[in-house]
Structure 1
Amino acid sequence: MVAQDPQGCLQLCLSEVANGLRNPVSMVHAGDGTHRFFVAEQVGVVWVYLPDGSRLEQPFLDLKNIVLTTPWIGDERGFLGLAFHPKFRHNRKFYIYYSCLDKKKVEKIRISEMKVSRADPNKADLKSERVILEIEEPASNHNGGQLPFGLDGYMYIFTGDGGQAGDPFGLFGNAQNKSSLLGKVLRIDVNRAGSDGKRYRVPSDNPFVSEPGAHPAIYAYGIRNMWRCAVDRGDPVTRQGRGRIFCGDVGQNRFEEVDLIVKGGNYGWRAKEGFACYDKKLCHNASLDGVLPIYAYGHAVGKSVTGGYVYRGCESPNLNGLYIFGDFMSGRLMALQEDRKNKKWKKQDLCLGSTTSCAFPGLISTHSKFIISFAEDEAGELYFLATSYPSAYAPHGSIYKFVDPSRRAPPGKCKYKPVPVRTKSKRIPFRPLAKTVLDLLKEQSEKAARKSSSATLASGPAQGLSEKGSSKKLASPTSSKNTLRGPGTKKKARVGPHVRQGKRRKSLKSHSGRMRPSAEQRRAGRSLP
C-alpha cells in the first residue's frame, strides 16, 4: 500500500523534469521507442524533450501565427491537443487540435493531420498540414481539446458544448443535440477518406450512424467540457481495464465529475451536473437515460477538474490501478481506487509527502498551483503539468513526475534502452528551479547552526559591548520565512504592458469553464460569470 498520513491521505513525492513553459497543455510520447516526449504550449509551440532530460533548442512545431489565444487569464482558446498516430514509426503522422480564425474571422476548432520532416525527426513538416475537421465555436470558452487514439485504432475527439454558461444554444443545448458536433465525443477513422469528400471515414459501428438527423461521427454526447481524457493501458500482468477511456468533465456552478466513456452514452449535460439536476425540466424527462459519473465532487474541493491517468508504470508498483487526477483551480491532487466487487470508485486525497518521506536526492514536495494537464511517458510513468500564473504567455509552467517513496521497484527492473534519434538542434540541459527537500533541510540546518553560533558569541564576555550588533544578527534567522513554499506561491508573471494584472488575478475567482474568463471577456459578452 501507498503510505498514508494520519488523515488517510496518500503520501507521494515529486521530481521536477521541466520548467519555463508557457501554459503547458499537453505532454505526449510518439510510441516509437525513442522515449522522447513532446510538450505543447497553449500559444502553439511544441518542444522535444529527450530521455536525458534535455530539451532541443529548436521547437518541433511552431504555429503561434495561426493559433488563436491571448494573454488573458481564463482564455481557453489556443493549441489544445496533440496525438501521434499508433503507426507513427511507419507513417510519421501526428494530429493537432487548436483554435483559429477562418478567412471570415469566424472562430473555429481545427483538427489537422501533419507529418514529421524526413530531414529531421525532431521537426514537423509545416507544409504537410491537412485539415480533417473544423467546428465553428459560438463562444470563446469550452473548447474541449483532446484527440487520443483508442485501442481500436480510431481517433476519439472531445469537444466542448460551445461555451457561455448553461449551454444556452437551442431548445436543449448543443450537448443534447445529436445534429451538433459540440458537447460530444466523436469517433473517426483517419486512415480512410469518406465517400462524401471528407478526409476521414465514419466507423460503421458508431452508435448513431442510422439515426435520422444525428451526425454519424458521434460516439457519446451530453458532455459540457471534457478537459483531459486518457486511455487505460491496463494492468501490466492481467490486462485488466485495458482500453477504458477516462475523462474529467468540468462542471458549471456546483459539481465536477470524472466519467468512463461508453459507446452511445449520454452524460447528461445540460440536464445534469454531476449526480444532480441542473436543468430541472430536462432532468425530469423520462426519456433521458444518462450515464452517471464514476465520481463527482463539489466546489468546496475544487472548481475545475483536470482529468488524469490510471497509473500503469513500473517504478512505483503500489500506484498500479489508481486513477490519478487533479483540480485546476484548487491545485488539489486526488486518486480513485476501483472496487471491482461493487463496481464503485473510492476517492482518496494525495498529499505531497513530509520532509522525512521525501528526503531523497532529486525529490521535492511542492508544486505550482494550477494543474493544467496530466501525462504518461512511453514507459508508463505518470506526470502532471502545472503553472503558477495561468496566462498563455507567462513562462511559469513546470512538469512534475510522481514518485512513491514508500515502495520503489527493484534496482534494474525498470530499465529500458531508448531507440537512438538523430538530433540536429542544440540540446539545452535541464536546470531545476524547485528546491529539493534535501536542499531545504540543508538550509534549515545551516540556519540553525548560524543561530546557535550567534547565540554563543552573544553570551560571551563582550556581550554588553556588542548587544546592538548581536541582536541585529539574531533577528535574521529567527524572523526568516519558511522556504518550503506551497503551491502557487511563485513570483507573478508580467503578461505584457497592455494587460492590467490586477484584473487578471481577480478574474480567477469566477468560474464557468476550465480556465476562468477574464473581466474583458465578460464585458465583451463572450462568457457569462
Structure 2
Amino acid sequence: MLHANDNTHRMFVAEQVGIIWVYLPDGSRLEEPFLDIKKIVLASPWIGDERGFLGMAFHPKHKHNRKFYIYYSYMDKKKAEKIRISEFKVLASDVNKADPRSERSLLELEEPAANHNGGQLLFGLDGCLYLFIGDGGKAGDPFGKFGNAQNKSTLLGKVLRIDVNRKSKDGKPYRIPPDNPFVLDPKALPEVYAYGVRNMWRCAVDRGDPVTHKGRGRIFCGDVGQNRFEEVDIIVKGGNYGWRAKEGFECYDIKLCYNSSLDDILPIFAYGHSVGKSVTGGYVYRGCESPNLNGLYIFGDFMSGRLMALQEDERENKWKKQDICIGSTKACAFPGLISSYSKFIISFAEDEAGELYFMATSYPSAYAPHGSIYKIVDPARRAPPGKCKHKPIPVKTKSKHIPFAPLAKTVLELLNEPPTIKPPNTSSISTGATPTTSSKKAKKPASPKSSTKLSAVKPTVSGKKRQVKGSKTKLEPADEKTKAPKVSKASRVTSLPDRKGSQLTRAKKKLLPKKTAAAKEKKQKKKGVRSRSSL
C-alpha cells in the first residue's frame, strides 16, 4: 500500500495475485482496478507462498511523467520462474488507470527456488531506484562456495541501485549511477549497492524529523532470518550485511564468520524465534496526528503477529525495543473496547501525510480474501484540532465509487455517546464488530503482547469498510514519555462477490428445527411471501 506523492492523497493497495486498487481520501474505493495483471503474475493458493505481485514504487516525478515501477514473479515460455522489474505509465486520459500496454521490462532474474524473492522497490532521496533482491531461496544460501549473498558477481542476495531516467551505453534500459560502490570492481556487478542480505521484506525511507530533519533519507529494512534470528538494518553504501556468515548478531557459517575480510555491518536490532519467526519491516513515524510516536521505528512479525517499536538512544548509539500490544487486560478495562487484529502481518504503509498503517491477514494465502488494513493512532496524545488538516487536490474519476461505510464506532465516538439504558459491555472480546455480509467467519481476539493502544481500519472488496472499536494499551515503561498507538481497522479486501441473503439470516435459518422451518416456509408460500433466506 502506497501513495503517489502527487498531493491527491490517494492510496494504492496491491494484492499478491496481481491487482491494484485505488482508494480516495474519503476512504471510498474505485470499482475498476488501477492495474490488473493477474494473467501474467505467478501466484498460487499455497499457504505461505512467497511468489506473486511483491512491490511497487511511484517515480519521484510521477505527477509529471506518469511513471511507476512494479516487482513481480512470472514464468517464462521455457517454464523458468523469474522475477521481473518493470516500468509502467498511467493513462493520460485517466489518472486512476494504468496503461497495461506501456510495460517496459527493466530487469529479469531467474529464481533458483520458489522462496526468498525479495520484493521491495523504493526511490531514495537521490532519485535512484533501489531494488531489494532475495538470496535465491532454499535454506542456508547453498549456492556456490560462499552463497549468493556474499558473491558480488550475482544480483541475488543484494540491494541494487539503478538510474531509471537514462539508458546505458551497453543497451541496458537503465543507467548505472557512477558513484555506485563497486563500479570499478571487475569481480562485482555494477548494480550492486549493498550485499550479504538474505530476504529483505519491506524497507522504507525515513522522512526525517518534521522540525530538525534529523534522520532524513535513512533506509530501514527488515531482513528475514534462517532458524534463529530476525533483524532490522539501516542500509549504507557498499555495506556487507553478513549473510550467510551471520544471522542477526550470531555466526551461521563458522568458516565465513571468522574470515577477517567479512567486515560486516551489524543490525540495529535482532530478536530470537521465541519472539517471532519472520520480520516484516515498517516505517519511522513522522506523521502529525500522534506526536508521541515521532521517531519510533514501527514494525512487526509475520508469524507471531507481534507489533514492535524501536526507539533510538543517541547517547548509547543503540535502538531499544518496545512492544506495541493490543489486548492487555488492564489497558483494555475501558468499557466497549475490543482487541483483535489479523495475526499474519504482511506489510506496513505510510500515507501522504506521514500517518502509518499495517496490513495483515487471518489466512496467509494469496487467494484468500481475508486481508485487512489498520491505521496506527495514539489516543493518549493527539495533535491539536485543526493542526493536521490537508487539502487533497481533487481527482476526476470515471469509475464508480464504492463508499466507505463504517459498521462499528471508534473509541472517540464511544466517548462522546450519550448514556444508554443498557449497561456498557465490559468484555474486550464480546464487543467485536458485527460481521459484514461478505465475511465468512468472525475474527479471534489477539493475545496480549505488551503495551500500545491501537484502533483499526478494514477495506472490503465490496467496498464497504468497517471500523472496529480500538483496544486500549500503552507502551512498556521502557520510555514512559512515549505513549502507545491505537490501531484503527478498515475493510476486508476481497475480490469475491457479495452473496445474497445476510449472514444473520443464514445463521437464524440453521437454528430452526427442520420441521418448524418447513412448516414456516409452507405457510409463507400460501400467503405468497418469499422468505429472505430463500432470496
TM-score, structure 2 normalization: 0.78
What pairs with 1:34-53 in structure 2 (closer than 5 Å)? 34-53=8-27
Contact 1:361 1:436 in 2 (8 A): no
Which of 438, 445, 465 lines up with 1:486 in the alignment?
Answer: 445
CA contact (8 A) 2:361 2:370 kept: yes
For residue 401 of structure 1, the aligned residue among 368, 375, 399 is 375
Q: Distance in 1 between matches of 2:250 and 2:215?
A: 28
Equivalent residue for 1:314, pick from 245, 263, 288:
288
Unaligned runs of 5+ in 1: 1-26, 451-476, 497-529
Cα deviations by residue, 1:75-105 (Å, 9 ceiling, x for unpaired): 1000000100000010000000000011211
Residue in 2 aligned with 1:382? 356
- Look up the match of 2:156: 182
Q: Residues 435 and 225 (structure 1 numbering): CA distance in 2 closer, same or farther, change over 3 Å?
A: farther
The CA deviation at 1:487 is 3.3
State the partner residue of 2:300: 326
Alpha-carbon distance between aligned partners in 1 of 2:493 and 2:129, rounded to the nearest angstrom? 37
Alignment partner, residue 417 of structure 1: 391
RMSD after superposition: 3.0
Native 8 Å contact 1:311 1:322 kept in 2: yes
- The answer to which of 364-373 and 64-73 deviates more is 364-373
Structure 2, unaligned runs of 5 or more:
433-443, 448-457, 459-491, 497-535
Letter in 2 for 1:414: C
Contact 2:309 2:324 in 1 (8 A): yes
Q: Following the alignment from structure 2 to structure 1, what is the Cα–Cα distance between the partners of residues 382 and 414?
A: 23
Contact 2:285/2:355, CA 8 A, preserved across alignment: yes
Q: 2:127 aligns with which of 134, 142, 153?
A: 153
Q: 1:449 and 1:92, CA in 2 relative to 1: closer, same or farther beyond 3 A?
A: closer
Q: How do 1:128-147 and structure 2 match up within 5 A?
A: 128-147=102-121
Change (3 A) 1:164 1:67: same
In the TM superposition, residue 494 of structure 1 has moved relative to its aligned partner by 12
Q: Which has the higher contact order (CA 8 A, sep 6+)?
A: 1
Aligned partner (choices 255, 259, 265) of residue 285 of structure 1: 259
Among 330, 348, 353, the residue aligned to 2:322: 348
Query: What CA deviation, in whole Å up to 9, does each residue of 1:150-178 have, x standing for no partner?
Result: 00000000000000000001111000000
Q: Residues 398 and 446 of structure 1: is their aligned pair in 2 closer, same or farther, counting only changes over 3 Å?
A: farther
Secondary structure, aligned partner of 1:346: strand
Q: Distance in 2 between matches of 1:114 and 1:493?
A: 24
Of 423-432 and 238-247, the range deviating more from structure 2: 423-432
In structure 2, the CA distance between the partners of 1:435 and 1:371, relative to structure 1 (3 Å rule), is farther
1:268 aligns with: 242
Would the alpha carbon gap of residues 360 and 85 (structure 1) be closer, same or farther in structure 2, given more than 3 Å must change?
farther
CA distance in 2, matches of 1:191, 1:413: 37
TM-score in terms of structure 1 length: 0.78
Equivalent residue number for residue 114 of structure 1: 88
Q: 1:483-515 deviations in whole A, cap 9, x for unaligned?
A: 454139x9x99999xxxxxxxxxxxxxxxxxxx
Sort the Cα spacing of 1:368 and 1:152 in 2 relative to 1 into closer, same or farther, 3 A: same
Say which SS state the counterpart of residue 89 (structure 1) adopts.
Answer: helix
Aligned pairs for 1:81-92 (under 5 A) are 81-92=55-66
> What is the SS of the residue equivalent to 2:123?
coil
Shift of 1:433: 6.5
Secondary structure of 2:122's counterpart equals: coil
Q: 1:225 aligns with which of 189, 195, 199?
A: 199
Compared CA separation, residues 364 and 264, structure 1 to 2 (3 A) = farther
Deviation sequence 1:170-201 (CA, Å, 0-9, x none):
11100000001000000000000011100100
Superposed, 1:427-466 pairs within 5 Å as: 427-432=401-406
Kindly provide the amino acid, as one letter, of the partner of residue 130 in structure 1: R
SS in 2 for 1:83: strand
1:66 is aligned to 2:25:
no
Please report how far the alpha carbon of residue 342 of structure 1 lies from its aligned counterpart in structure 2 after TM superposition. 2.0
Q: 1:304 to 1:48 in 2, by over 3 A?
A: same
| Separation in 1, partners of 2:493, 2:120 | 27
Q: Secondary structure at the match of 1:318?
A: helix
Equivalent pairs, count: 441
CA offsets, 1:131-152, max 9 Å, x none? 0000110000000001100000
Distance 1:105 1:326, change over 3 A: same
